[in-house]
Amino acid sequence: MIEVNVRAHVGDFRLSAVLEGEGVICIAGRNGSGKSTLMRVMAGFLPLDEGYVKVGGADVTRFPAEKRGMVLVNPSSFIPHLKVDSHILWGARLKHGRPSPASLSKIKQELGIDFEGKVGSLSRGMRQRVALATALVASPRAILVDEAFLGLHEKEEFIVTYGKLVKEEGIDLLFSSQDQTDGRMSDHLFVIDAGSMGPGSPDKTRSLTEHSTTV
Amino acid sequence: MGWLRVIALAALILLLIPIFVLLYYGLGPLRDSAGYSILVFRSIELSLVASALAVAVDVVVFTPLAYYLARGSDRIAESLVDIPISVPHPIIGVALLILDSPITPTGKILLGLHIDFYNTILGLVLALVIMSAPIFVKSMQPYFESRESSTEEFAAGLGASRIRTLFAVVLPESFDGLTSASLVSMSRALSEFGSISIIAYYVLQYPFYGVSPASVTIYNFFSGNTAGGLNAAVTASAAMILVAIPIALAGHFVRRRPRR
Protein backbone atom coordinates (compact mmCIF):
# COMPACT_ATOMS: atom_id res chain seq x y z
CA MET A 1 0.00 0.00 0.00
CA ILE A 2 1.34 3.42 -0.99
CA GLU A 3 -0.08 6.45 0.81
CA VAL A 4 1.07 9.89 -0.19
CA ASN A 5 -0.13 13.31 0.83
CA VAL A 6 2.53 15.85 0.00
CA ARG A 7 3.09 19.46 -0.81
CA ALA A 8 6.44 20.43 -2.26
CA HIS A 9 7.99 22.99 -4.51
CA VAL A 10 10.87 23.12 -6.95
CA GLY A 11 11.60 26.74 -7.80
CA ASP A 12 8.25 28.22 -8.84
CA PHE A 13 6.69 24.83 -9.52
CA ARG A 14 4.30 23.72 -6.78
CA LEU A 15 3.28 20.14 -6.22
CA SER A 16 0.20 19.09 -4.28
CA ALA A 17 -0.58 15.40 -4.46
CA VAL A 18 -2.75 12.92 -2.62
CA LEU A 19 -2.48 9.29 -3.61
CA GLU A 20 -3.48 6.02 -2.02
CA GLY A 21 -3.43 2.59 -3.55
CA GLU A 22 -1.74 -0.75 -3.77
CA GLY A 23 -0.73 -3.09 -6.52
CA VAL A 24 -0.11 -1.32 -9.80
CA ILE A 25 -0.70 2.43 -9.84
CA CYS A 26 -0.48 4.66 -12.89
CA ILE A 27 0.15 8.40 -12.75
CA ALA A 28 -0.68 10.07 -16.02
CA GLY A 29 0.22 13.58 -16.97
CA ARG A 30 1.70 15.74 -19.68
CA ASN A 31 5.33 16.82 -19.83
CA GLY A 32 5.99 19.18 -16.95
CA SER A 33 2.86 18.20 -15.04
CA GLY A 34 4.84 17.04 -11.99
CA LYS A 35 5.09 13.25 -12.41
CA SER A 36 8.84 13.11 -11.99
CA THR A 37 8.78 15.66 -9.19
CA LEU A 38 6.21 13.60 -7.29
CA MET A 39 8.26 10.43 -7.72
CA ARG A 40 11.47 12.14 -6.63
CA VAL A 41 9.69 13.50 -3.56
CA MET A 42 8.36 10.02 -2.79
CA ALA A 43 11.78 8.44 -3.26
CA GLY A 44 13.43 10.99 -0.97
CA PHE A 45 15.42 12.95 -3.53
CA LEU A 46 13.45 16.16 -3.19
CA PRO A 47 12.35 17.66 0.12
CA LEU A 48 8.67 18.10 0.82
CA ASP A 49 7.19 21.17 2.44
CA GLU A 50 4.58 19.20 4.34
CA GLY A 51 2.80 15.88 4.30
CA TYR A 52 3.85 12.28 4.42
CA VAL A 53 4.93 9.31 2.35
CA LYS A 54 3.93 5.87 3.59
CA VAL A 55 4.68 2.57 1.99
CA GLY A 56 3.65 -0.83 3.28
CA GLY A 57 2.21 0.90 6.33
CA ALA A 58 5.57 2.44 7.27
CA ASP A 59 5.94 6.20 7.36
CA VAL A 60 9.17 6.79 5.45
CA THR A 61 8.81 10.57 5.19
CA ARG A 62 11.90 11.29 7.29
CA PHE A 63 13.93 8.36 5.99
CA PRO A 64 16.90 8.95 3.68
CA ALA A 65 16.45 7.58 0.18
CA GLU A 66 18.49 4.45 0.83
CA LYS A 67 16.30 3.47 3.79
CA ARG A 68 12.90 3.98 2.16
CA GLY A 69 12.71 0.78 0.21
CA MET A 70 11.53 2.66 -2.85
CA VAL A 71 13.47 2.25 -6.08
CA LEU A 72 13.14 5.02 -8.64
CA VAL A 73 13.68 3.75 -12.17
CA ASN A 74 13.90 6.10 -15.13
CA PRO A 75 15.47 5.60 -18.56
CA SER A 76 18.88 6.63 -17.17
CA SER A 77 18.76 4.33 -14.16
CA PHE A 78 21.49 1.83 -14.78
CA ILE A 79 25.05 1.14 -13.68
CA PRO A 80 27.02 1.20 -16.92
CA HIS A 81 30.09 -0.82 -15.99
CA LEU A 82 28.20 -3.84 -14.64
CA LYS A 83 27.36 -6.87 -16.73
CA VAL A 84 23.73 -7.88 -17.06
CA ASP A 85 23.61 -10.59 -14.38
CA SER A 86 25.74 -8.63 -11.91
CA HIS A 87 23.48 -5.65 -12.48
CA ILE A 88 20.30 -7.59 -11.86
CA LEU A 89 21.71 -8.98 -8.61
CA TRP A 90 23.34 -5.73 -7.45
CA GLY A 91 20.51 -4.48 -5.26
CA ALA A 92 19.78 -7.90 -3.79
CA ARG A 93 23.44 -8.33 -2.87
CA LEU A 94 23.34 -5.06 -0.95
CA LYS A 95 20.84 -6.77 1.33
CA HIS A 96 22.91 -9.95 1.38
CA GLY A 97 20.17 -11.69 -0.53
CA ARG A 98 20.23 -13.56 -3.78
CA PRO A 99 17.34 -15.10 -5.69
CA SER A 100 17.52 -18.76 -6.60
CA PRO A 101 18.89 -19.48 -10.08
CA ALA A 102 15.44 -20.71 -11.11
CA SER A 103 13.79 -17.52 -9.90
CA LEU A 104 16.39 -15.34 -11.62
CA SER A 105 16.03 -17.31 -14.81
CA LYS A 106 12.25 -16.92 -14.70
CA ILE A 107 12.45 -13.16 -14.21
CA LYS A 108 14.94 -12.77 -17.06
CA GLN A 109 12.81 -14.88 -19.34
CA GLU A 110 9.57 -13.07 -18.53
CA LEU A 111 11.18 -9.66 -19.00
CA GLY A 112 12.83 -10.67 -22.26
CA ILE A 113 16.40 -10.42 -20.98
CA ASP A 114 18.15 -12.87 -23.26
CA PHE A 115 21.29 -10.81 -23.82
CA GLU A 116 24.62 -10.33 -22.08
CA GLY A 117 27.32 -7.71 -21.92
CA LYS A 118 28.00 -4.50 -20.06
CA VAL A 119 24.79 -2.63 -19.42
CA GLY A 120 26.28 0.66 -20.61
CA SER A 121 26.78 -0.80 -24.06
CA LEU A 122 23.22 -2.12 -24.44
CA SER A 123 20.39 -0.41 -26.26
CA ARG A 124 18.10 1.84 -24.28
CA GLY A 125 15.28 -0.69 -24.23
CA MET A 126 17.60 -3.45 -23.05
CA ARG A 127 18.97 -1.23 -20.31
CA GLN A 128 15.47 -0.42 -19.12
CA ARG A 129 14.59 -4.09 -18.91
CA VAL A 130 17.73 -4.78 -16.89
CA ALA A 131 17.08 -1.83 -14.58
CA LEU A 132 13.50 -2.96 -13.97
CA ALA A 133 14.67 -6.51 -13.30
CA THR A 134 17.27 -5.15 -10.88
CA ALA A 135 14.62 -3.22 -9.00
CA LEU A 136 12.37 -6.27 -8.84
CA VAL A 137 15.08 -8.65 -7.61
CA ALA A 138 16.09 -6.17 -4.88
CA SER A 139 12.63 -6.71 -3.30
CA PRO A 140 11.91 -3.12 -2.25
CA ARG A 141 8.61 -2.01 -0.77
CA ALA A 142 7.75 -0.13 -3.95
CA ILE A 143 9.11 0.47 -7.42
CA LEU A 144 8.57 3.89 -8.95
CA VAL A 145 8.90 3.75 -12.73
CA ASP A 146 9.30 7.19 -14.24
CA GLU A 147 8.59 6.74 -17.93
CA ALA A 148 10.98 3.80 -18.04
CA PHE A 149 8.34 1.77 -19.88
CA LEU A 150 8.41 4.36 -22.64
CA GLY A 151 9.79 3.00 -25.88
CA LEU A 152 9.85 -0.63 -24.78
CA HIS A 153 8.96 -3.15 -27.42
CA GLU A 154 5.43 -4.47 -26.78
CA LYS A 155 5.05 -2.00 -23.94
CA GLU A 156 1.56 -2.98 -22.80
CA GLU A 157 2.42 -6.66 -22.58
CA PHE A 158 5.58 -5.80 -20.71
CA ILE A 159 3.76 -3.64 -18.16
CA VAL A 160 1.22 -6.38 -17.53
CA THR A 161 3.99 -8.96 -17.08
CA TYR A 162 6.02 -6.69 -14.85
CA GLY A 163 2.93 -5.83 -12.81
CA LYS A 164 2.26 -9.53 -12.32
CA LEU A 165 5.84 -10.17 -11.19
CA VAL A 166 5.88 -7.32 -8.67
CA LYS A 167 2.55 -8.45 -7.24
CA GLU A 168 3.92 -11.95 -6.78
CA GLU A 169 6.73 -10.41 -4.73
CA GLY A 170 4.34 -8.23 -2.72
CA ILE A 171 5.82 -5.06 -4.15
CA ASP A 172 3.77 -2.01 -5.07
CA LEU A 173 4.42 -0.57 -8.51
CA LEU A 174 3.81 3.03 -9.42
CA PHE A 175 4.50 4.08 -12.98
CA SER A 176 4.12 7.32 -14.86
CA SER A 177 2.90 7.83 -18.37
CA GLN A 178 1.98 10.68 -20.64
CA ASP A 179 -0.91 8.63 -21.92
CA GLN A 180 -3.92 8.19 -19.64
CA THR A 181 -4.94 5.07 -21.53
CA ASP A 182 -1.96 3.31 -19.94
CA GLY A 183 -4.14 3.29 -16.85
CA ARG A 184 -5.78 0.18 -18.30
CA MET A 185 -2.78 -1.82 -17.15
CA SER A 186 -3.05 -0.50 -13.60
CA ASP A 187 -5.23 -1.08 -10.57
CA HIS A 188 -5.43 2.64 -9.85
CA LEU A 189 -5.12 5.63 -12.13
CA PHE A 190 -4.30 9.17 -11.06
CA VAL A 191 -4.01 12.18 -13.30
CA ILE A 192 -1.60 14.97 -12.54
CA ASP A 193 -1.69 18.38 -14.13
CA ALA A 194 0.28 21.49 -13.20
CA GLY A 195 1.37 19.84 -9.98
CA SER A 196 -2.13 18.89 -8.78
CA MET A 197 -3.29 15.33 -8.75
CA GLY A 198 -6.58 13.50 -8.61
CA PRO A 199 -8.26 10.34 -9.83
CA GLY A 200 -8.43 9.80 -13.57
CA SER A 201 -10.23 7.55 -15.99
CA PRO A 202 -8.50 5.02 -18.19
CA ASP A 203 -10.68 6.06 -21.08
CA LYS A 204 -9.20 4.42 -24.14
CA THR A 205 -10.51 7.09 -26.44
CA ARG A 206 -8.77 9.99 -24.78
CA SER A 207 -5.17 10.80 -24.46
CA LEU A 208 -3.84 13.54 -22.23
CA THR A 209 -3.39 15.89 -25.11
CA GLU A 210 -7.18 16.07 -25.16
CA HIS A 211 -7.72 15.66 -21.45
CA SER A 212 -8.34 18.91 -19.63
CA THR A 213 -9.70 17.79 -16.27
CA THR A 214 -7.61 18.61 -13.26
CA VAL A 215 -8.40 18.10 -9.64
CA MET B 1 34.53 37.74 -31.56
CA GLY B 2 37.29 39.62 -33.38
CA TRP B 3 38.35 42.09 -30.69
CA LEU B 4 37.45 39.73 -27.90
CA ARG B 5 39.82 37.18 -29.38
CA VAL B 6 42.59 39.73 -29.70
CA ILE B 7 42.19 40.88 -26.10
CA ALA B 8 41.96 37.30 -24.83
CA LEU B 9 45.10 36.24 -26.66
CA ALA B 10 46.95 39.33 -25.45
CA ALA B 11 46.00 38.48 -21.86
CA LEU B 12 47.12 34.91 -22.40
CA ILE B 13 50.48 36.03 -23.77
CA LEU B 14 50.88 38.30 -20.76
CA LEU B 15 50.42 35.28 -18.51
CA LEU B 16 52.89 33.17 -20.44
CA ILE B 17 55.67 35.75 -20.82
CA PRO B 18 57.57 34.60 -17.69
CA ILE B 19 57.51 31.03 -18.95
CA PHE B 20 58.80 31.98 -22.40
CA VAL B 21 61.46 34.22 -20.85
CA LEU B 22 62.73 31.41 -18.64
CA LEU B 23 62.72 28.88 -21.45
CA TYR B 24 64.54 31.26 -23.78
CA TYR B 25 67.20 32.40 -21.37
CA GLY B 26 67.50 29.13 -19.48
CA LEU B 27 68.06 27.06 -22.61
CA GLY B 28 69.89 29.85 -24.47
CA PRO B 29 71.98 32.85 -23.43
CA LEU B 30 72.05 32.11 -19.68
CA ARG B 31 72.42 28.36 -19.85
CA ASP B 32 74.61 27.06 -17.06
CA SER B 33 75.62 23.44 -16.62
CA ALA B 34 74.90 23.69 -12.88
CA GLY B 35 71.27 24.20 -13.86
CA TYR B 36 71.01 20.73 -15.34
CA SER B 37 73.38 18.94 -13.03
CA ILE B 38 72.63 15.73 -11.17
CA LEU B 39 71.66 17.90 -8.20
CA VAL B 40 68.85 19.51 -10.22
CA PHE B 41 67.62 16.23 -11.66
CA ARG B 42 67.58 14.63 -8.20
CA SER B 43 65.57 17.62 -7.00
CA ILE B 44 63.10 17.27 -9.83
CA GLU B 45 62.92 13.54 -9.14
CA LEU B 46 62.14 14.23 -5.47
CA SER B 47 59.47 16.76 -6.43
CA LEU B 48 57.89 14.33 -8.89
CA VAL B 49 57.84 11.46 -6.41
CA ALA B 50 56.54 13.59 -3.54
CA SER B 51 53.89 15.22 -5.76
CA ALA B 52 52.75 11.85 -7.08
CA LEU B 53 52.44 10.52 -3.52
CA ALA B 54 50.54 13.66 -2.50
CA VAL B 55 48.12 13.21 -5.38
CA ALA B 56 47.62 9.56 -4.46
CA VAL B 57 46.61 10.74 -0.99
CA ASP B 58 44.38 13.41 -2.57
CA VAL B 59 42.56 10.77 -4.58
CA VAL B 60 41.98 8.44 -1.64
CA VAL B 61 41.18 11.01 1.04
CA PHE B 62 39.64 13.92 -0.82
CA THR B 63 37.51 12.28 -3.51
CA PRO B 64 34.74 11.64 -0.95
CA LEU B 65 34.92 15.31 0.07
CA ALA B 66 34.58 16.44 -3.55
CA TYR B 67 31.59 14.13 -3.98
CA TYR B 68 30.04 15.33 -0.74
CA LEU B 69 30.34 18.93 -1.88
CA ALA B 70 28.99 18.10 -5.32
CA ARG B 71 25.91 16.29 -4.09
CA GLY B 72 25.25 18.24 -0.92
CA SER B 73 24.63 21.90 -0.26
CA ASP B 74 27.22 22.50 2.42
CA ARG B 75 28.31 26.03 1.61
CA ILE B 76 30.45 26.32 4.72
CA ALA B 77 32.49 23.22 3.91
CA GLU B 78 32.77 24.42 0.34
CA SER B 79 34.36 27.70 1.37
CA LEU B 80 36.59 26.09 4.02
CA VAL B 81 38.22 23.91 1.36
CA ASP B 82 39.89 26.96 -0.17
CA ILE B 83 41.51 28.18 3.01
CA PRO B 84 44.88 26.36 2.76
CA ILE B 85 45.63 27.93 -0.60
CA SER B 86 44.14 31.28 0.38
CA VAL B 87 46.64 31.96 3.15
CA PRO B 88 50.35 32.68 2.58
CA HIS B 89 51.78 29.26 1.90
CA PRO B 90 54.64 29.44 4.43
CA ILE B 91 51.93 29.49 7.10
CA ILE B 92 51.12 25.88 6.27
CA GLY B 93 54.79 24.98 6.67
CA VAL B 94 54.92 26.73 10.02
CA ALA B 95 51.69 25.01 11.09
CA LEU B 96 53.10 21.59 10.27
CA LEU B 97 56.28 22.47 12.08
CA ILE B 98 54.36 23.47 15.22
CA LEU B 99 52.08 20.47 14.95
CA ASP B 100 55.11 18.19 15.08
CA SER B 101 57.28 20.25 17.41
CA PRO B 102 58.58 18.76 20.66
CA ILE B 103 57.24 21.87 22.45
CA THR B 104 53.60 21.11 21.62
CA PRO B 105 51.42 18.26 22.96
CA THR B 106 50.64 17.05 19.43
CA GLY B 107 54.31 17.11 18.56
CA LYS B 108 55.19 15.12 21.66
CA ILE B 109 52.67 12.48 20.73
CA LEU B 110 53.72 12.34 17.07
CA LEU B 111 57.41 12.29 17.83
CA GLY B 112 56.74 9.65 20.47
CA LEU B 113 55.29 7.57 17.65
CA HIS B 114 58.40 8.36 15.55
CA ILE B 115 56.32 10.47 13.19
CA ASP B 116 58.55 13.34 12.14
CA PHE B 117 57.57 15.96 9.55
CA TYR B 118 60.72 18.06 9.66
CA ASN B 119 62.93 17.51 6.65
CA THR B 120 61.34 14.18 5.89
CA ILE B 121 59.50 12.82 2.87
CA LEU B 122 56.43 12.54 5.10
CA GLY B 123 56.55 16.25 5.93
CA LEU B 124 57.12 17.13 2.30
CA VAL B 125 54.24 14.96 1.09
CA LEU B 126 51.94 16.23 3.83
CA ALA B 127 52.59 19.85 2.88
CA LEU B 128 52.00 19.04 -0.77
CA VAL B 129 48.77 17.22 0.10
CA ILE B 130 47.47 20.29 1.92
CA MET B 131 48.47 22.60 -0.92
CA SER B 132 47.20 20.40 -3.76
CA ALA B 133 44.04 18.94 -2.22
CA PRO B 134 41.96 22.12 -2.65
CA ILE B 135 42.83 22.10 -6.35
CA PHE B 136 41.93 18.41 -6.57
CA VAL B 137 38.61 18.95 -4.81
CA LYS B 138 37.74 21.99 -6.92
CA SER B 139 38.51 19.99 -10.03
CA MET B 140 36.52 16.89 -9.05
CA GLN B 141 33.52 18.74 -7.64
CA PRO B 142 32.27 20.16 -10.97
CA TYR B 143 33.01 16.82 -12.59
CA PHE B 144 30.70 15.08 -10.13
CA GLU B 145 28.14 17.86 -10.44
CA SER B 146 28.01 17.39 -14.18
CA ARG B 147 27.14 13.72 -13.80
CA GLU B 148 23.53 12.82 -14.25
CA SER B 149 22.19 11.83 -10.86
CA SER B 150 19.81 9.09 -12.06
CA THR B 151 22.33 6.29 -11.60
CA GLU B 152 23.14 7.39 -8.08
CA GLU B 153 19.46 7.74 -7.21
CA PHE B 154 18.83 4.29 -8.60
CA ALA B 155 21.62 2.88 -6.41
CA ALA B 156 20.28 4.72 -3.36
CA GLY B 157 16.81 3.35 -3.98
CA LEU B 158 18.29 -0.14 -4.10
CA GLY B 159 19.68 0.52 -0.62
CA ALA B 160 23.23 1.71 -1.30
CA SER B 161 24.66 4.29 1.10
CA ARG B 162 26.21 7.45 -0.33
CA ILE B 163 29.74 6.20 0.28
CA ARG B 164 28.97 2.85 -1.32
CA THR B 165 27.38 4.60 -4.27
CA LEU B 166 30.52 6.70 -4.65
CA PHE B 167 32.91 3.76 -4.68
CA ALA B 168 30.79 1.14 -6.45
CA VAL B 169 28.83 3.23 -8.92
CA VAL B 170 30.38 6.66 -9.47
CA LEU B 171 34.13 6.09 -9.33
CA PRO B 172 34.28 3.20 -11.82
CA GLU B 173 32.82 5.66 -14.33
CA SER B 174 35.02 8.58 -13.30
CA PHE B 175 38.44 7.57 -14.59
CA ASP B 176 38.71 10.59 -16.89
CA GLY B 177 37.75 13.02 -14.17
CA LEU B 178 40.10 11.45 -11.63
CA THR B 179 42.99 11.43 -14.10
CA SER B 180 42.44 15.02 -15.06
CA ALA B 181 42.04 16.25 -11.48
CA SER B 182 45.11 14.25 -10.41
CA LEU B 183 47.30 15.76 -13.13
CA VAL B 184 46.11 19.29 -12.40
CA SER B 185 46.73 18.90 -8.67
CA MET B 186 50.09 17.21 -9.29
CA SER B 187 51.04 20.18 -11.37
CA ARG B 188 50.08 22.40 -8.45
CA ALA B 189 52.12 20.27 -6.04
CA LEU B 190 55.19 20.45 -8.28
CA SER B 191 55.05 24.24 -8.20
CA GLU B 192 54.79 24.55 -4.42
CA PHE B 193 57.53 26.46 -2.64
CA GLY B 194 56.30 28.41 0.38
CA SER B 195 55.23 25.61 2.69
CA ILE B 196 57.90 23.08 1.75
CA SER B 197 60.73 25.56 2.10
CA ILE B 198 59.90 25.55 5.82
CA ILE B 199 58.90 21.98 6.59
CA ALA B 200 61.16 20.15 4.13
CA TYR B 201 63.92 22.43 2.93
CA TYR B 202 65.72 19.24 2.14
CA VAL B 203 65.00 15.61 2.86
CA LEU B 204 67.19 13.66 5.22
CA GLN B 205 66.00 10.21 4.26
CA TYR B 206 66.97 7.50 1.83
CA PRO B 207 66.86 7.62 -1.20
CA PHE B 208 66.85 11.43 -1.28
CA TYR B 209 69.34 12.16 1.49
CA GLY B 210 70.27 15.84 1.34
CA VAL B 211 68.14 16.54 -1.74
CA SER B 212 65.91 19.61 -1.80
CA PRO B 213 62.64 19.83 -3.73
CA ALA B 214 63.08 21.44 -7.16
CA SER B 215 61.54 24.79 -6.23
CA VAL B 216 63.85 25.06 -3.20
CA THR B 217 66.88 24.11 -5.30
CA ILE B 218 66.07 26.89 -7.77
CA TYR B 219 65.77 29.33 -4.88
CA ASN B 220 69.08 28.11 -3.49
CA PHE B 221 70.80 28.84 -6.79
CA PHE B 222 69.25 32.27 -6.92
CA SER B 223 70.04 33.19 -3.31
CA GLY B 224 73.57 31.86 -3.47
CA ASN B 225 72.98 29.08 -0.95
CA THR B 226 74.11 26.73 -3.68
CA ALA B 227 76.87 27.62 -6.12
CA GLY B 228 75.52 28.56 -9.54
CA GLY B 229 73.88 31.95 -9.18
CA LEU B 230 71.23 33.43 -11.40
CA ASN B 231 72.25 31.56 -14.53
CA ALA B 232 71.91 28.18 -12.81
CA ALA B 233 68.58 29.26 -11.32
CA VAL B 234 67.24 30.23 -14.73
CA THR B 235 68.51 27.03 -16.36
CA ALA B 236 67.08 24.85 -13.57
CA SER B 237 63.78 26.73 -13.88
CA ALA B 238 63.66 25.96 -17.59
CA ALA B 239 64.34 22.29 -16.86
CA MET B 240 61.56 22.26 -14.28
CA ILE B 241 59.17 23.94 -16.71
CA LEU B 242 59.90 21.31 -19.33
CA VAL B 243 58.91 18.63 -16.83
CA ALA B 244 55.90 20.41 -15.33
CA ILE B 245 54.20 21.78 -18.43
CA PRO B 246 53.36 18.43 -20.06
CA ILE B 247 51.77 17.32 -16.76
CA ALA B 248 49.72 20.51 -16.52
CA LEU B 249 48.65 20.32 -20.16
CA ALA B 250 47.80 16.62 -19.93
CA GLY B 251 45.53 17.40 -17.00
CA HIS B 252 43.55 19.82 -19.11
CA PHE B 253 43.46 17.74 -22.25
CA VAL B 254 42.12 14.60 -20.59
CA ARG B 255 38.42 14.59 -21.18
CA ARG B 256 36.74 16.19 -18.17
CA ARG B 257 33.12 15.37 -18.81
CA PRO B 258 31.46 12.18 -17.71
CA ARG B 259 30.47 9.86 -20.53
CA ARG B 260 26.84 10.36 -19.75
- Contact present, B198 and B97 (Cβ < 8 Å): yes
What is the mean predicted confidence (pLDDT) over A126-132?
94
Nearest CB to A76 within list B151, B164, B173: B151
Which chain B residue has its CA at the smallest distance from A75's CA? B150
Domain A2-199 has CATH 3.30.70.120: no
pTM of the model: 0.86
Residue of B148, B154, B169, B171 best to disrupt the A interface, most CBs of A under 10 A: B154
Domain boundaries of chain A, sorted by first residue: 2-199
Alpha helical stretches, state H, chain B = 2-27, 38-57, 63-71, 75-80, 83-86, 89-99, 105-112, 121-145, 150-157, 162-165, 175-190, 196-199, 214-223, 229-253
Which chain A residue has its CA at the smallest distance from B150's CA? A77
- Contact present, A146 and A46 (Cβ < 8 Å): no
Topology of B50-212 in CATH? MetI-like fold (1.10.3720)
Of B190, B189, B181, B192, nearest in space to B250 by CA: B181
Residue B258 CB neighbour total at 10 angstroms = 16
What is the ipTM, given to two decimal places?
A: 0.89
Of A60, A22, A20, nearest in space to A41 by CA: A60
pLDDT in tens, A58-75: 999 999 999 999 999 999
Decide if A66 and B156 are in contact by the 8 Å CB cutoff.
yes
Domain boundaries of chain B, sorted by first residue: 50-212
Q: Per-residue pLDDT for chain B (260 aa), expressed as one digit of tens each? A: 689 999 999 999 999 999 999 999 999 999 999 999 999 999 999 999 999 999 999 999 999 999 999 998 788 998 899 898 889 999 999 999 999 999 999 999 999 999 999 999 999 999 999 999 999 999 999 999 999 899 999 999 999 999 999 999 999 999 999 999 999 999 999 999 999 999 999 999 999 999 999 999 999 999 988 888 999 999 999 999 999 999 888 877 876 555 54
Decide if B157 and A135 are in contact by the 8 Å CB cutoff.
yes
Nearest CB to A138 within list B153, B158, B259: B158
Sheet holding A2-10, edge to edge: A58-59, A50-55, A2-10, A13-21, A196-199, A188-193, A24-28, A172-177, A142-145, A70-73
pLDDT in tens, B119-178: 999 999 999 999 999 999 999 999 999 998 999 999 999 999 999 999 999 999 999 999
